[in-house]
Amino acid sequence: MKTFEQAKMMKRLPEQFFAKLVEQVQEVKKDHDDIINLGQGSPDLPTPEHIVEKLQEAAENPLYHRYAPFSGYPFLKEAVSKYYEREYGVSVDPKTEVAVLGGAKTGLVEVSQCFLNPGDMALVPDPGYPDYWSGIAIAGGSMYGMPLKKELGFHPDLRGIPAPVLYEAKLMFLNYPNNPTGAVATEELFAEAIELAEEYDICVVHDFAYSAIGFDGQKPLSFLQVEGAKNVGIEMITLSKNYNMAGWRIGFAVGNPSVIKAIETLQDHYFCSLFGGIQAAAAHALLSDQSNVTTLVQTYEERRNALVKAARAIGWDVEAPKGSFFAWFPVPSGFTSEEFATYLLKKARVVVAPGKGFGEHGEGYVRVALLADIAKLEEAMGRVGKLDVFSNKRG
């Protein structure tokens, strides 16, 4: 069979680090049916019933059986505008400052294609969400990793970035609440990013995927709440996490009109927008009673508390995440992150994500998802405890 040579762009794509982890999990599953998978980021709870019912109702509307407007229905953009006003006190023009996305992941890849020429640089968090790398690679750009270190609260040292790098950079990706570290942003961090973006003509892209998931009574800060943000960038928000709508694939870019226009122009060439029924259900989710979101965040906080307590009980010196549905736990001495993840899979049948998969500065940690019930989280920590890899156990 003839094999066709792929384009150079395909060869630039980063290796899918976690594909090997998935293969390892499948191999262990052949002999064991008791794996506890805390390595993936797919919500485990169903979409709220009232949102599903709205989709069912909308699916019967003949209007939605036709092509939707390429840029999305105006009623959905208006819903996003009302949502931002209600949740963050931010005024958003639905006509010029909102783009409808087939999931935030799509937008995060597209934005690099919109603004990076071959060789142009983007600033990325390290550790960070690997799909930032994918978009940059497709555009032929280069990356400068901004280390997220514990001593700085897993915030980048923006003023520590060399001036030549800042002059060269075209994009800066930020993500809070953060995947994988669970850190949250401060107004000071965003203000500093805005100041640098103004000074060096950098477009800031804030990935706000975990926008509602903040703990200990703290609501996560929107980038657009900070003065000057809309002048220098955008925020991408998704319904996947807050509403358990990951499989629905719908999100939004909100902010600077020139960036929104570029994304919509690119999407005109890629897509015919999303099924109107999904857009109607998404608008309903944003504008309806938000008690389901409140309950969901409470559930994740209860799971976080149970996981951290159980981990500390086996001697694992961990800190509780402040947001997202991930915990970022240090690897015990004697292991790399990949070795430790493999060890837990084979010896305890517990799946975690090795920090190395999120970048060089992810080494030394594993990401543990809060996407199982409390009993499973406690059982997972109990299994890890039996391996006796931690010293100074405490009850």
Q: How far apart are CA 140 and CA 12, in angstroms?
A: 8
Asked if 245 and 304 sit in the same domain, the reply is no
Write b or e for each residue in 68-97: b if 16 or more Cβ atoms lie within 10 A of its Cβ, otherwise e: beebbbeebbbbbbebbeebbebebebeeb
Tens digit of pLDDT for each residue in 271-320?
988 999 999 999 999 999 999 999 999 999 999 999 999 999 999 999 99
Opening angle at CA 254, ends 252 and 257, nearest 5: 125
Asked if 317 and 279 sit in the same domain, the reply is no
> Smallest Cα–Cα separation from 337: which of 310, 361, 307, 309?
361
Residue 20 has pLDDT above 80, yes or no: no
Tens digit of pLDDT for each residue in 326-346?
999 999 999 999 999 999 999
Q: What is the model's pTM?
A: 0.96
Tens digit of pLDDT for each residue in 182-213?
999 999 999 999 999 999 999 999 999 999 99
Residue 11 has pLDDT above 50, yes or no: yes
Asked if 266 and 309 sit in the same domain, the reply is no
Query: Given 287, 302, 326, which residue is the final one in a domain?
Result: 287
CATH classification at residue 342: 3.90.1150.10
Percent of the chain past pLDDT 90, that is, above it, reads 92
Task: State which residues form the domain around 237.
Answer: 49-287
Residue 21 pLDDT grade (very low, low, confident, very high; cuts 50, 70, 90): confident
Q: Does residue 277 fall inside a structural domain? A: yes
Domain count for the chain, please give it.
2
Return the DSSP state at 68: P
Q: Does residue 2 fall inside a structural domain? A: no
Asked if 362 and 343 sit in the same domain, the reply is yes
- The DSSP code sequence of 104-120 is HHHHHHHHHHHH--TT-
Q: How far apart are CA 264 and CA 291, in angstroms?
A: 32
Query: Given 267, 287, 307, which residue is the final one in a domain?
Result: 287
Residue 52 has a pLDDT of: 98
Query: Given 287, 319, 348, which residue is the final one in a domain?
Result: 287
332 backbone dihedrals φ, ψ, rounded to 5°? -65, 160
Q: Does residue 392 fall inside a structural domain? A: no
Q: Does residue 236 fall inside a structural domain? A: yes
Residue 103 has pLDDT above 50, yes or no: yes
Asked if 275 and 328 sit in the same domain, the reply is no
Q: Does residue 137 fall inside a structural domain? A: yes
Asked if 198 and 165 sit in the same domain, the reply is yes
Residue 14 has pLDDT above 60, yes or no: yes
Q: Does residue 395 fall inside a structural domain? A: no
Asked if 54 and 146 sit in the same domain, the reply is yes
Asked if 262 and 307 sit in the same domain, the reply is no
Q: Mean pLDDT across the stretch 377-384? A: 98
Tens digit of pLDDT for each residue in 49-81?
999 999 999 999 999 999 999 999 999 999 999
Residue 308 has a pLDDT of: 98
Q: To the nearest whole number, what is the mean pLDDT of the chain?
A: 96
Residue 323 has a pLDDT of: 98
Residue 395 has a pLDDT of: 41
Asked if 162 and 176 sit in the same domain, the reply is yes
CATH classification at residue 273: 3.40.640.10
Tens digit of pLDDT for each residue in 245-271?
999 999 999 999 999 999 999 999 999
Asked if 100 and 70 sit in the same domain, the reply is yes
Beta bridge partners of 99: 253
Residue 370 has a pLDDT of: 98
Q: Mean pLDDT across the stretch 140-160? A: 97
Asked if 71 and 103 sit in the same domain, the reply is yes
Asked if 321 and 376 sit in the same domain, the reply is yes
